[in-house]
Amino acid sequence: MAKKRPQTKAKRPQLTDGEVPVVGAREPCPCGSGRRYKACHGRAAAHAVTELVQRPFEGLPGECDWVALRELVPAATVELPLKDALPEGVPSVTLATVLPMAWPALRREDGSVLLGLQNDTASGDISRDLADTLQRALTATPGTPVQARRAPAESPRLQDLLDPEGEFAPVVHSGFEFWVPDAENASPEVAASLERANEAAIPTERLTGVDAAYWCRTPEKNHLRWVMPYPEEQLLDALARLHAAGRSGLGEGTRLVGSFRAHGLTVPVWDLPGSVTADDVEKPAAEFGERLAVALATEAPLTVEERRARGGLTNRQVTLS
């Protein structure tokens, strides 16, 4: 008997990574490997959207203020200039710390766009998620909010959409009246929502003499929280030098108590007496900035006392993100 020839299946043409379309996780991968998409090219796509970006606002004007508004400031807005001209029918784009109902974004009746910053994001790159929300808000129907979603892995980031030379000038508000164009004539429901939000907001002010420093008042004491752009290890060494020398305070009764870590930056925190206002701390903060610049430039090894001070500061670090 004649031998049967083995049956062979024609191989599907292999696609390059750039040609592989996105399909359902359990569907065969379009590249022709024979594996499910989630176990093939979908694995790289999933990793791309979940990998944590340590400094999502790096490269944006006002990176330190972006971090402060994301993590520390209850109510603030910033006008955002885009690289390209605003679309027709969109008079302005405004970043807001938080929006009603925790909406990611809102296109108002007049066409203007509000982009919410203090929201949970679906991927590990806040900048990409915010950029995706902004792009959808620019084309949303006026008078409607924009819902959250996971941004596509290759979609633009804020750094691609915003003017790199544009000014980033936060305006801190005492409440959330910026949610509505005419808060005094808001409906009873909106007025009640505003009242609840305002009651929960911690009074906060941005210092004018130094960058990204925010005074706030709490029932127990006041604080200054200052987002700084320096590498963490270098900054901790400098703070330790000043702390060991008794020069880390901001005046009588004030104390450097530790720091936050947030989005790749370090945020030193001072306790202030309840009587110390934002205006009172302006001059001491500017003077501290000068002392810090000298300490940052010092390259000598830390002394025993400075190492002890550094250990204490490190033990009092709290990671916010």
The string of pLDDT tens digits covering residues 60-105 is 999 999 999 999 999 999 999 999 999 999 999 999 999 988 899 9
Listed in sequence order, the DSSP H helices in 167-231 are 188-200
Residue 193 is predicted with a pLDDT of: 80
What are the start-end ranges of the H helices in the chain? 41-50, 63-71, 126-138, 158-161, 188-200, 232-244, 278-297, 304-315
Q: Which of 246, 243, 276 is nearest to 259 (CA)?
A: 243
Single pTM value for the model: 0.83
The DSSP call for residue 12 is: P
Cα separation of the two ends of the chain: 73
How much is the pLDDT for 6? 45
pLDDT exceeds 90 at position 175: yes
Q: What sign for the dihedral angle of Cα 188, 193, 198, 200?
A: positive
Give the model's confidence band at 217: pLDDT under 50 very low, under 70 low, under 90 confident, else very high: very high
Residues 257, 316 contacting (CB under 8 angstroms): yes
Q: Are 11 and 18 in contact (CB under 8 A)?
A: no
Least confident of 187-191, 267-271, 308-312: 187-191
Q: What is the arithmetic mean of pLDDT over 156-185?
A: 92
**Residue 79 CA, distance from chain mean position:** 16
- Reduced to 3 states (helix: H, G, I; strand: E, B; else coil), residue 173 is coil
Q: Please give the C-alpha separations between residue 227 and each of 78, 96, 175, 180, 204, in angstroms, as whole numbers.
A: 17, 18, 22, 30, 14
> What's the one-letter identity of residue 80?
L
Amino acid symbol at 300: A
The token duo for 186 is 């808001």
Q: How many CB atoms lie within 10 A of CB 34?
A: 10
Rounded to 5 degrees, what are φ and ψ at 40? -120, -115
Q: For residue 38, what pLDDT band results from cuts at 50, 70 and 90?
A: low
**What pLDDT, on a 0 to 100 scale, did the predictor assign at position 306?**
98
Q: Kindly state the average pLDDT of the residues 31-59.
A: 75
| Secondary structure class of 162 (helix, strand, coil) | strand
